[in-house]
Protein backbone atom coordinates (compact mmCIF):
# COMPACT_ATOMS: atom_id res chain seq x y z
CA UNK A 1 0.00 0.00 0.00
CA UNK A 2 1.23 3.44 -0.87
CA UNK A 3 0.05 6.84 0.30
CA UNK A 4 -0.75 9.18 -2.61
CA UNK A 5 1.20 12.42 -2.30
CA UNK A 6 0.63 13.85 -5.79
CA UNK A 7 -2.30 13.64 -8.16
CA UNK A 8 0.12 12.76 -10.99
CA UNK A 9 1.08 9.54 -9.18
CA UNK A 10 -2.57 8.51 -9.07
CA UNK A 11 -3.14 9.40 -12.72
CA UNK A 12 -0.09 7.43 -13.77
CA UNK A 13 -1.14 4.38 -11.75
CA UNK A 14 -4.65 4.54 -13.24
CA UNK A 15 -3.19 4.86 -16.72
CA UNK A 16 -1.19 1.67 -16.27
CA UNK A 17 -4.36 -0.40 -16.10
CA UNK A 18 -5.07 -1.53 -19.63
CA UNK A 19 -8.54 -0.85 -20.88
CA UNK A 20 -10.32 -1.89 -24.02
CA UNK A 21 -11.49 -5.38 -23.09
CA UNK A 22 -15.15 -6.05 -22.31
CA UNK A 23 -14.38 -6.57 -18.63
CA UNK A 24 -12.57 -3.29 -17.99
CA UNK A 25 -14.14 -1.64 -15.00
CA UNK A 26 -13.70 1.59 -13.06
CA UNK A 27 -15.41 2.90 -9.94
CA UNK A 28 -13.32 5.99 -9.23
CA UNK A 29 -15.00 9.20 -10.39
CA UNK A 30 -13.77 11.87 -7.98
CA UNK A 31 -13.12 15.36 -9.31
CA UNK A 32 -9.57 16.73 -9.32
CA UNK A 33 -10.40 19.19 -6.53
CA UNK A 34 -11.72 16.40 -4.28
CA UNK A 35 -8.65 14.28 -5.00
CA UNK A 36 -6.35 17.20 -4.12
CA UNK A 37 -8.21 17.72 -0.83
CA UNK A 38 -7.91 14.05 0.13
CA UNK A 39 -4.21 14.04 -0.78
CA UNK A 40 -3.67 17.10 1.42
CA UNK A 41 -5.30 15.21 4.31
CA UNK A 42 -3.05 12.17 3.67
CA UNK A 43 -6.21 10.09 3.31
CA UNK A 44 -5.68 8.54 -0.12
CA UNK A 45 -3.89 5.21 -0.59
CA UNK A 46 -3.18 2.87 -3.50
CA UNK A 47 -2.67 -0.83 -3.72
CA UNK A 48 -1.94 -2.60 -6.96
CA UNK A 49 -1.82 -6.06 -8.29
CA UNK A 50 -1.43 -7.31 -11.86
CA UNK A 51 -4.21 -5.69 -13.92
CA UNK A 52 -5.96 -3.90 -11.08
CA UNK A 53 -5.56 -0.81 -8.93
CA UNK A 54 -7.44 -0.20 -5.70
CA UNK A 55 -7.79 3.35 -4.43
CA UNK A 56 -8.80 3.59 -0.80
CA UNK A 57 -9.66 6.48 1.41
CA UNK A 58 -10.03 6.47 5.17
CA UNK A 59 -13.29 8.22 6.05
CA UNK A 60 -13.61 8.07 9.82
CA UNK A 61 -14.07 4.40 10.71
CA UNK A 62 -14.81 3.47 7.11
CA UNK A 63 -12.43 2.57 4.35
CA UNK A 64 -13.93 3.70 1.03
CA UNK A 65 -12.69 1.46 -1.76
CA UNK A 66 -12.62 2.23 -5.49
CA UNK A 67 -11.04 0.27 -8.31
CA UNK A 68 -9.71 0.37 -11.84
CA UNK A 69 -9.37 -3.12 -13.30
CA UNK A 70 -8.58 -4.67 -16.66
CA UNK A 71 -10.74 -7.70 -16.01
CA UNK A 72 -12.66 -9.60 -13.37
CA UNK A 73 -9.93 -12.00 -12.18
CA UNK A 74 -7.58 -9.05 -11.56
CA UNK A 75 -10.22 -7.16 -9.59
CA UNK A 76 -11.09 -10.25 -7.61
CA UNK A 77 -7.43 -10.85 -6.74
CA UNK A 78 -6.88 -7.23 -5.70
CA UNK A 79 -9.95 -7.21 -3.46
CA UNK A 80 -8.94 -10.56 -2.00
CA UNK A 81 -5.52 -9.16 -1.07
CA UNK A 82 -7.04 -6.08 0.55
CA UNK A 83 -9.51 -8.12 2.58
CA UNK A 84 -6.71 -10.45 3.70
CA UNK A 85 -4.53 -7.51 4.75
CA UNK A 86 -7.30 -5.71 6.64
CA UNK A 87 -9.85 -8.28 7.81
CA UNK A 88 -11.14 -6.11 10.65
CA UNK A 89 -11.74 -3.03 8.53
CA UNK A 90 -15.27 -1.88 7.70
CA UNK A 91 -15.20 -1.20 3.95
CA UNK A 92 -17.61 0.57 1.61
CA UNK A 93 -17.58 0.64 -2.17
CA UNK A 94 -19.84 2.55 -4.56
CA UNK A 95 -20.41 0.77 -7.87
CA UNK A 96 -21.93 3.25 -10.28
CA UNK A 97 -23.32 2.64 -13.74
CA UNK A 98 -26.26 1.19 -15.60
CA UNK A 99 -27.61 -1.87 -13.75
CA UNK A 100 -26.65 -4.27 -16.53
CA UNK A 101 -23.10 -2.87 -16.65
CA UNK A 102 -22.33 -3.22 -12.94
CA UNK A 103 -24.01 -6.55 -12.26
CA UNK A 104 -20.87 -8.64 -12.80
CA UNK A 105 -18.66 -6.30 -10.78
CA UNK A 106 -21.22 -6.37 -7.98
CA UNK A 107 -20.93 -10.16 -7.91
CA UNK A 108 -17.13 -9.94 -7.63
CA UNK A 109 -17.45 -7.71 -4.57
CA UNK A 110 -20.03 -10.11 -3.11
CA UNK A 111 -17.64 -13.02 -3.54
CA UNK A 112 -15.10 -11.07 -1.45
CA UNK A 113 -17.54 -10.69 1.43
CA UNK A 114 -19.22 -7.41 0.49
CA UNK A 115 -23.01 -7.23 0.71
CA UNK A 116 -25.30 -4.75 -0.95
CA UNK A 117 -26.23 -2.22 1.73
CA UNK A 118 -28.43 -0.06 -0.49
CA UNK A 119 -28.99 0.96 -4.06
CA UNK A 120 -29.22 4.60 -5.06
CA UNK A 121 -30.83 5.77 -8.28
CA UNK A 122 -29.86 8.96 -10.06
CA UNK A 123 -32.56 11.43 -10.99
CA UNK A 124 -32.21 14.49 -13.13
CA UNK A 125 -34.19 17.51 -14.07
CA UNK A 126 -33.81 19.55 -17.21
CA UNK A 127 -35.68 22.68 -18.12
CA UNK A 128 -36.46 25.87 -16.33
CA UNK A 129 -37.78 26.94 -12.95
CA UNK A 130 -38.66 30.51 -12.03
CA UNK A 131 -35.84 32.26 -10.16
CA UNK A 132 -38.13 33.41 -7.40
CA UNK A 133 -37.88 32.67 -3.72
CA UNK A 134 -41.69 32.57 -3.41
CA UNK A 135 -42.51 29.50 -1.39
CA UNK A 136 -39.11 29.47 0.32
CA UNK A 137 -40.49 31.01 3.53
CA UNK A 138 -37.97 31.14 6.37
CA UNK A 139 -35.19 29.34 4.50
CA UNK A 140 -31.83 31.03 4.97
CA UNK A 141 -28.30 30.52 3.77
CA UNK A 142 -26.13 28.79 6.35
CA UNK A 143 -23.23 30.81 7.75
CA UNK A 144 -19.77 29.87 8.95
CA UNK A 145 -20.91 29.93 12.58
CA UNK A 146 -23.46 27.23 11.73
CA UNK A 147 -20.73 24.74 10.74
CA UNK A 148 -20.53 22.78 14.03
CA UNK A 149 -24.31 22.42 14.17
CA UNK A 150 -24.49 21.46 10.50
CA UNK A 151 -21.88 18.78 10.92
CA UNK A 152 -23.56 17.43 14.07
CA UNK A 153 -26.92 17.41 12.24
CA UNK A 154 -25.50 15.36 9.39
CA UNK A 155 -23.71 12.92 11.67
CA UNK A 156 -26.89 12.40 13.64
CA UNK A 157 -29.44 12.03 10.88
CA UNK A 158 -27.64 10.64 7.82
CA UNK A 159 -26.48 7.09 7.17
CA UNK A 160 -22.69 7.32 6.74
CA UNK A 161 -22.65 4.19 4.59
CA UNK A 162 -25.13 5.48 2.03
CA UNK A 163 -24.17 9.16 2.23
CA UNK A 164 -20.65 10.47 2.16
CA UNK A 165 -20.92 12.96 4.99
CA UNK A 166 -18.79 15.99 4.12
CA UNK A 167 -15.84 16.97 6.26
CA UNK A 168 -15.88 20.33 8.07
CA UNK A 169 -13.58 21.70 5.34
CA UNK A 170 -15.99 20.56 2.62
CA UNK A 171 -18.92 22.03 4.53
CA UNK A 172 -17.03 25.29 4.99
CA UNK A 173 -16.46 25.48 1.22
CA UNK A 174 -20.15 24.74 0.57
CA UNK A 175 -21.22 27.49 2.99
CA UNK A 176 -18.77 29.93 1.42
CA UNK A 177 -20.22 29.28 -2.03
CA UNK A 178 -23.76 29.80 -0.67
CA UNK A 179 -24.52 26.14 -1.30
CA UNK A 180 -26.16 25.37 2.05
CA UNK A 181 -29.77 26.26 2.83
CA UNK A 182 -31.13 25.78 6.33
CA UNK A 183 -34.35 26.14 8.26
CA UNK A 184 -33.67 27.01 11.89
CA UNK A 185 -35.90 27.79 14.83
CA UNK A 186 -35.63 27.82 18.60
CA UNK A 187 -35.23 24.03 18.56
CA UNK A 188 -32.18 24.29 16.31
CA UNK A 189 -31.78 23.05 12.74
CA UNK A 190 -34.99 21.57 11.38
CA UNK A 191 -33.82 20.91 7.83
CA UNK A 192 -30.95 21.41 5.43
CA UNK A 193 -30.34 21.31 1.70
CA UNK A 194 -26.82 21.28 0.28
CA UNK A 195 -26.04 21.69 -3.40
CA UNK A 196 -23.06 22.26 -5.65
CA UNK A 197 -23.06 24.08 -8.98
CA UNK A 198 -20.47 23.58 -11.70
CA UNK A 199 -21.08 25.71 -14.76
CA UNK A 200 -24.48 24.81 -16.19
CA UNK A 201 -25.03 21.80 -13.91
CA UNK A 202 -26.09 21.56 -10.30
CA UNK A 203 -25.95 18.55 -8.01
CA UNK A 204 -28.32 18.30 -5.08
CA UNK A 205 -26.17 16.60 -2.45
CA UNK A 206 -28.34 16.46 0.67
CA UNK A 207 -31.94 17.31 1.46
CA UNK A 208 -33.00 16.33 4.92
CA UNK A 209 -35.66 17.34 7.40
CA UNK A 210 -35.58 16.10 11.00
CA UNK A 211 -38.01 13.19 11.36
CA UNK A 212 -40.38 14.74 13.88
CA UNK A 213 -40.62 17.94 11.77
CA UNK A 214 -41.95 16.19 8.67
CA UNK A 215 -45.31 17.41 7.37
CA UNK A 216 -44.64 21.05 8.28
CA UNK A 217 -43.62 22.20 4.79
CA UNK A 218 -39.94 22.55 5.70
CA UNK A 219 -38.72 20.26 2.91
CA UNK A 220 -40.92 22.03 0.40
CA UNK A 221 -39.55 25.45 1.38
CA UNK A 222 -35.98 24.19 1.11
CA UNK A 223 -36.70 22.74 -2.33
CA UNK A 224 -38.27 25.98 -3.55
CA UNK A 225 -35.23 27.94 -2.40
CA UNK A 226 -32.95 25.44 -4.12
CA UNK A 227 -34.82 25.40 -7.43
CA UNK A 228 -34.89 29.19 -7.48
CA UNK A 229 -31.14 29.28 -6.82
CA UNK A 230 -30.31 26.89 -9.66
CA UNK A 231 -32.89 28.27 -12.09
CA UNK A 232 -30.13 28.95 -14.61
CA UNK A 233 -28.78 25.40 -14.48
CA UNK A 234 -29.65 23.32 -17.50
CA UNK A 235 -29.19 20.09 -15.61
CA UNK A 236 -29.89 19.26 -11.98
CA UNK A 237 -29.02 15.81 -10.63
CA UNK A 238 -29.38 13.93 -7.35
CA UNK A 239 -29.06 10.44 -5.92
CA UNK A 240 -31.81 8.86 -3.83
CA UNK A 241 -32.24 5.45 -2.17
CA UNK A 242 -34.09 3.22 -4.63
CA UNK A 243 -36.61 2.03 -2.05
CA UNK A 244 -37.42 5.47 -0.71
CA UNK A 245 -40.76 5.69 -2.48
CA UNK A 246 -41.86 8.84 -0.65
CA UNK A 247 -38.71 10.78 -1.56
CA UNK A 248 -38.84 9.63 -5.18
CA UNK A 249 -42.49 10.72 -5.42
CA UNK A 250 -41.49 14.14 -4.10
CA UNK A 251 -38.71 14.45 -6.66
CA UNK A 252 -41.14 13.47 -9.43
CA UNK A 253 -43.41 16.22 -8.15
CA UNK A 254 -40.57 18.72 -8.63
CA UNK A 255 -39.89 17.55 -12.18
CA UNK A 256 -37.07 15.06 -11.65
CA UNK A 257 -37.02 11.67 -13.34
CA UNK A 258 -34.78 8.61 -13.10
CA UNK A 259 -32.01 8.63 -15.73
CA UNK A 260 -31.08 4.94 -15.55
CA UNK A 261 -27.87 5.24 -13.49
CA UNK A 262 -27.63 3.35 -10.21
CA UNK A 263 -25.12 3.17 -7.38
CA UNK A 264 -24.79 -0.17 -5.59
CA UNK A 265 -23.40 0.59 -2.15
CA UNK A 266 -21.41 -2.46 -1.12
CA UNK A 267 -20.39 -2.92 2.50
CA UNK A 268 -17.95 -5.38 3.96
CA UNK A 269 -18.27 -5.67 7.71
CA UNK A 270 -15.25 -6.25 9.90
CA UNK A 271 -14.66 -9.97 10.42
CA UNK A 272 -14.63 -9.21 14.14
CA UNK A 273 -18.25 -8.04 13.82
CA UNK A 274 -19.46 -10.86 11.58
CA UNK A 275 -18.05 -13.67 13.76
Partner 1 sequence: MKSILDILSGIRPEFDFSTSQNYLADGMLDSFDVIALVSDLDREFGIRIEGTEILPENFCNLQAIRNLLGKHGVAA
Name the residues that contact partner 1, by CB under 8 A: 11-12, 14-20, 26, 29-32, 68, 96-97, 126, 197-202, 233-235, 261
Of 16 and 138, CB closest to partner 1: 16
Distance CA 158, CA 150 (A): 12
Strand-pair category, 180-185 with 140-141: antiparallel
H/E element holding 186? none
Neighbours of 146 (CB within 10 A): 19
Of 37 and 147, CB closest to partner 1: 37
Of 150 and 230, CB closest to partner 1: 230
Instruction: Give least dist CB 240 to partner 1, A.
Output: 16
Instruction: Give least dist CB 97 to partner 1, A.
Output: 8
DSSP labels for 210-234?
-GGGTTSSHHHHHHHHHHHHTTT-S
Distance CA 132, CA 145 (A): 27
Neighbours of 74 (CB within 10 A): 23
- Residue 17's region, left for phi above 0, alpha for psi from -120 to 50, else beta, is beta
Instruction: Give least dist CB 241 to partner 1, A.
Output: 19
Neighbours of 269 (CB within 10 A): 16
Of 166 and 191, CB closest to partner 1: 166
Of 199 and 211, CB closest to partner 1: 199
Neighbours of 149 (CB within 10 A): 15
Instruction: Give least dist CB 199 to partner 1, A.
Output: 3
Instruction: Give least dist CB 54 to partner 1, A.
Output: 15
Instruction: Give least dist CB 17 to partner 1, A.
Output: 5
Of 197 and 270, CB closest to partner 1: 197
Amino acid sequence: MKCVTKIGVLQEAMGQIKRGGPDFSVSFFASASKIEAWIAEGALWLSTCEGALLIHRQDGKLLRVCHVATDQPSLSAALGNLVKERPDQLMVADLVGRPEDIERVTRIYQRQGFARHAQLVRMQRSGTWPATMDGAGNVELARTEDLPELRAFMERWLDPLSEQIPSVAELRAAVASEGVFAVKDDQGLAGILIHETTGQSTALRYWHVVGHRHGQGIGSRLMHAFLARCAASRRVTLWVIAGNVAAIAKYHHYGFSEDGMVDNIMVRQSERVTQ
